[in-house]
Amino acid sequence: MENRPGYAGSFGGAHVVDGPTFRLLVDLEVQKAQRLHYCISLLCVHVDFPQAKAADSATMMVADLLFPHLRGTDAIAPYANSSLGILLVDAETGHLPSILGRLTEHLETVPWSAGGSCYPRNVTRADDLLRQAVDFMVRAKEYGGNRLLLPP
């Protein structure tokens, strides 16, 4: 594990970063994708933990379960309220259900809700990519969880 601000380490190839670093990575990746004409996707995943567990430690526990199943080009960061943000480079909206299915099978019976978005298919700015993924995650939770919501 490296010892620098914003970087928590690399597990199974994926990079674990803090919130501000994740936001910077999303901004930089969208700029690069604009120049090189490729897509990036963002998943926001909320996990409903048993009340006995502290939310922060439980979020990191889930992150530990998911890291080995992400690629080296991907990044993951804890978000507020038991959520994770996952940046997926060169992944289109159509790939998100199978990617999330592969990740959530490791959560066993823990309920989850997720939302996703894709540049340039759904949005053209980093702010909108983040906002749309979070909005769909919140809606998925309202609809009863254990589902992924994506833009049409």
- For 96-115, give the DSSP string: HHHHHHHHHGGGTT--EEEE
Encode pLDDT of 21-78 as tens digits: 999 999 999 999 999 999 999 999 998 876 545 556 666 666 666 766 788 788 888 8
Residue 67 is encoded by which pair of tokens? 């890291």
- Asked if 77 and 18 count as a contact pair (C-beta separation under 8 A), the reply is yes
Assigned CATH for 7-149: 3.30.70.270
Encode pLDDT of 87-118 as tens digits: 999 999 899 999 998 888 877 778 899 999 99
**pLDDT at position 107, please?**
78
Model confidence at 82, pLDDT cuts 50, 70, 90, reads confident
Model confidence at 11, pLDDT cuts 50, 70, 90, reads very low
Q: Which residue has the higher pLDDT, 79 or 115?
A: 115
CA distance to 5, 7, 55, 84, 121, per residue, from 18 (Å) = 9, 7, 16, 10, 26
Q: Where are the domains of the chain?
A: 7-149
